[in-house]
Structure 1
């Protein structure tokens, strides 16, 4: 076929049944694991040349900032995660794989990805979405996080992440923010909200013992049925005030002033996790990205907007995508349990108990009826689809 296929026509070669203007692309960000199934994709003859080209390009760009030779291919073939210690290489790896995924979809499977309704991205993924949409060349866009990689790792030396959650009431964002500010004001480290995953789930990132201290005092302000689980991995403290300690937000803003591009709205549109809206136009990208650095990721607002847009399929781009698919999976399960058909008398005690534990969702459903669409949105992990549909 000489012409690129529209998304809805891809059903000719797979079980997907896309409808044009009802597809969203979701790009993933940095995680403690970033290889995914890239080695399997690299082993596919039809894909390997594209992947190797992107690895070569991003290795060369990355080496300009690490001041040493970088070979992204070697990480994949050895099955070795770059990790936080080689954060610059991890950034380059994720963006290289995401760009390769899109190129493979376009050039091998002849899918016109520009026909997607819009795109979005968690954390680093928003930079990928903007680059994919043509606002900035990806080779330019990656220069900013790479330039700040060493300082991001430096700040991560005493970082802890906490998952704040409740299966009962909603958790007030204002109360969480106030508690973070109160703890920070004690002068023993900074803590802040990194992401709002839902009205009952937040990611917190804090220095020293601030996350533990938050857990000790949180019930002074938050409901008793709120819990905090601490993640012992180290994380770069993006999307929190902690980055201001190395002036990362301001220094990044200065770097972005001279990036090529930024004066065309992205095509497809980009739904920003900074604002929770389609905020990018022909000049706003630099200002939004300035806030991207030290403001929390508003994933819940984006989930609600995806559902309000009438999106039927979300295609998850990148190696082993996790945060966005997992958030939708939890929401879908909760909605199904909250709206299960039948009278309470016909339900088991476990189902009734499950409904009772989700008053946050019960309170939202009357006003945000679009949440009921969550179980009906199809999610496609692109690396899985590419492997299953590799030309033989």
Structure 2
């Protein structure tokens, strides 16, 4: 990788992670690094105060990070503040020590909570204002998570019919035994479902009547706040977010660089619609696949993954890379007359989308950087001087030391 300021990352995209069951990553190491620690501490301190004021309870993220104490669902509010603070801190470290120019990004997006960080980093909102939105509804989201199960619906055959998935969810909802909805579209063959009570099991019972073979449903054992689904309607959360957004300071500036919204599947933010998108953000599914494709289509050579221990977005790109390589292998085998082997390695869903989305073929060539790993592995630039504590003589009797 080149080391000059402008070509270090080439044409780059920036991806911000969202909430997960593990949210510390390598934050403890970044806080302990003498050069980076003050920046990390400043962001954690500010986020702690915002969290404490909004939730009306004690929050000390510096202590949590220093002790390497992972968050839980019960401390969801602290996880929200921690993730946003660490993402912004990582970006500032990159700018401060490596002359990183965030406005040069070809593509910027964030998954779930990461979209909030993206619009903060792009100058649309300040952290002290933006964080109050998810924090204000965090307790209700945790309560709703009590009976919620995640289901990963995926196809090893044809494309998933998302409209058919929605229709089946609506049918199950109409039975009155709980609500289920799509939380994210990860790829043309994969969606995440969040459902109350036994609705995910009910989906599994009914799906084979309306979906093709080689479509599977796998349940996740963790509990998840059901954001980005209609489940949040049960606590009037979208309306409450809308009311809060009315008096939210800021939001009258276009993001620089433009931010690709996973709510709309486009770079939709203007100088007037931030509040509208924030309301939709809370109950609309995350269109991650649209962002993945746009990242490849925009010509990005590198994707910088920001946040503590990012995994969903890097894993999505890795699966796509593996699938594209398998597809290309299948094409080569077919040319050699090995049709049976070619069919075995090809991905039918990918075969269906490639003719209209040829940028997907770039997936194997794009480099992915986990920013916290990169920061901890890179030597500091030679221009950065680390301050050495000065030794002062001990005051003699009768002398005093001043304070400022």
TM-score class normalised by the smaller sequence: over 0.9
Work out whether residues 36 and 320 of structure 1, in 8 Å CA contact, stay in contact via their aligned partners in 2. yes
Return the alpha-carbon distance in structure 2 between the equivalents of residues 144 and 75 of structure 1: 22
Select which of 4, 18, 27 maps to 1:12.
4
- What is the match of residue 185 of structure 1? 174
CA drift at 1:91: 0.2
Task: Give the ranges of 4+ consecutive aligned residues of structure 1 lying more than 6 Å apart after TM superposition.
Answer: 347-350
Q: What aligned pairs does 1:27-42 form with structure 2 within 5 A after superposition? A: 27-42=16-31
Work out whether residues 106 and 298 of structure 2, in 8 Å CA contact, stay in contact via their aligned partners in 1. no
CA drift at 1:41: 1.1
Select which of 351, 366, 376 maps to 1:387.
376
CA drift at 1:366: 1.3
- What is the match of residue 213 of structure 1? 202
Residue by residue, what CA displacement relative to the aligned partner does 1:146-180 show, whole Å, maximum 9, x if unpaired?
A: 00010000110100000000111111000000000
Residue by residue, what CA displacement relative to the aligned partner does 1:316-365 show, whole Å, maximum 9, x if unpaired?
A: 10001111111111011100110126333759899635434x11101111
- What is the match of residue 246 of structure 1? 235
Work out whether residues 62 and 70 of structure 1, in 8 Å CA contact, stay in contact via their aligned partners in 2. yes
Residue by residue, what CA displacement relative to the aligned partner does 1:245-291 show, whole Å, maximum 9, x if unpaired?
A: 00111100110111111111100110110111111111111111211
Work out whether residues 337 and 351 of structure 1, in 8 Å CA contact, stay in contact via their aligned partners in 2. no
Work out whether residues 333 and 339 of structure 2, in 8 Å CA contact, stay in contact via their aligned partners in 1. no
The DSSP-based 3-state class of the residue aligned with 2:191 is strand
Task: Report the number of matched residues.
Answer: 380
- What is the match of residue 60 of structure 2? 71
Work out whether residues 5 and 100 of structure 2, in 8 Å CA contact, stay in contact via their aligned partners in 1. no
The DSSP-based 3-state class of the residue aligned with 1:333 is helix
The DSSP-based 3-state class of the residue aligned with 2:304 is strand
Work out whether residues 240 and 294 of structure 1, in 8 Å CA contact, stay in contact via their aligned partners in 2. yes
- What is the match of residue 117 of structure 2? 128
Return the alpha-carbon distance in structure 2 between the equivalents of residues 278 and 211 of structure 1: 32
The DSSP-based 3-state class of the residue aligned with 1:164 is strand
Residue by residue, what CA displacement relative to the aligned partner does 1:228-250 show, whole Å, maximum 9, x if unpaired?
A: 00001000000000001001111
Work out whether residues 136 and 262 of structure 1, in 8 Å CA contact, stay in contact via their aligned partners in 2. yes
The DSSP-based 3-state class of the residue aligned with 1:380 is strand
- What is the match of residue 395 of structure 2? none
TM-score by length of 1: 0.93
- What is the match of residue 160 of structure 1? 149
Select which of 76, 86, 96 maps to 2:85.
96
5+ residue gaps, structure 1, are: 1-7
- What is the match of residue 344 of structure 1? 334
2:364 maps to 1:364: no
Residue by residue, what CA displacement relative to the aligned partner does 1:44-67 show, whole Å, maximum 9, x if unpaired?
A: 110001111111111111111332
Return the alpha-carbon distance in structure 2 between the equivalents of residues 325 and 378 of structure 1: 10
Return the alpha-carbon distance in structure 2 between the equivalents of residues 189 and 212 of structure 1: 11
My pick for the range that moved more, 68-77 or 256-265, is 68-77
Return the alpha-carbon distance in structure 1 between the equivalents of residues 341 and 371 of structure 2: 33
Return the alpha-carbon distance in structure 2 between the equivalents of residues 44 and 350 of structure 1: 55
CA drift at 1:112: 2.0
2:76 maps to 1:87: yes
5+ residue gaps, structure 2, are: 381-385, 387-404
Return the alpha-carbon distance in structure 2 between the equivalents of residues 96 and 354 of structure 1: 46
Q: What aligned pairs does 1:218-237 form with structure 2 within 5 A after superposition? A: 218-237=207-226
Report the structure number with the largest CA radius of gyration: 2
Residue by residue, what CA displacement relative to the aligned partner does 1:48-90 show, whole Å, maximum 9, x if unpaired?
A: 0111111111111111133222111222222221211111000
Q: RMSD across aligned C-alpha pairs, in angstroms?
A: 1.9
